[in-house]
Amino acid sequence: MGLTPLEGLVMGTRSGDVDPAVLIHLQRNAGMSVDDIDDLLNRRSGLKGLAGENDFREIHRLVEEGDASAQRALDVYIHRLRKYIGAYLAVLGRVDVITFTAGVGENDDIVRALAIKGLEPFGIAVDAERNAGRKKEPVTISPDWTSTRVMVVPTNEELAIARQAIATIERAGLEGTSDETDPSPASTGHA
């Protein structure tokens, strides 16, 4: 992600990277307002815009039934993942670990396998048995021979938020002044 979650990968309802001229085109040719474009790119694009669904379970079901839009959505999603893996490999010169996380990363072994497929010449691979199924604990899914580990690391957003909240409260308690804790009208600027 960049300034907003729109930059980067295609998401459930977000577009991911797009040509900046798309914004001008939508305004000029489709008569869309800034708010309309914002809604389109954040809430009606991505997998939802490509396949009409943003849940990978449903997309996989539709792909199995031969739905061309669902197949295109899956192909675009995988293409973007692979593009970013390649870009970071080129920029960094080497990659120690590729980590899949969050909803899709933890739960979708098909996406994980397709994202890594064909990267064996770069020392990157997924072991089919290790990759199978949903992952509830951190696990390595690459074969032992690879030079880059591929892992699934489940998120714990609630724990991260709680830790940050505690740290913020502790800093405020240590760095606070008596004026900040004084509820009198003079300290709050209210009379």
Closest C-alpha among 102, 107, 98 to residue 131 = 107
Known binding residue 8? Answer is no
Is 105 flagged in the annotation as binding? yes
Alpha helices in the chain (DSSP H): 21-30, 34-43, 46-51, 56-64, 68-92, 102-107, 109-116, 128-131, 157-175, 178-181, 185-188
**Residue 175 assigned as binding residue:** no
Q: Determine whether the annotation assigns residue 56 to a binding site.
A: yes
Determine whether the annotation assigns residue 107 to a binding site.
Answer: yes
113 close to 167: Cβ distance less than 8 angstroms: no
The residues, ordered by sequence, that sit 6+ positions from 96 with a Cβ below 8 Å of its Cβ are: 148, 149
Of 114, 101, 152, nearest to 130 by C-alpha is: 152
Q: How many CA atoms lie within 13 A of 97 on its CB side?
A: 10
- The reply to whether 55 sits in an annotated binding site is yes
- Would strands 149-152 and 139-140 be described as parallel, antiparallel, or unpaired? antiparallel
67 in a known ligand binding site = no
Q: Is 106 one of the annotated binding-site residues?
A: yes
Q: Is 152 annotated as a binding residue?
A: no
What letter does residue 152 receive in the DSSP assignment? Answer: E
| Residue set of the binding site for ATP | 55-57, 103-107
Binding residues for Mg(2+): 157
Return binding residues: 55-57, 103-107, 157
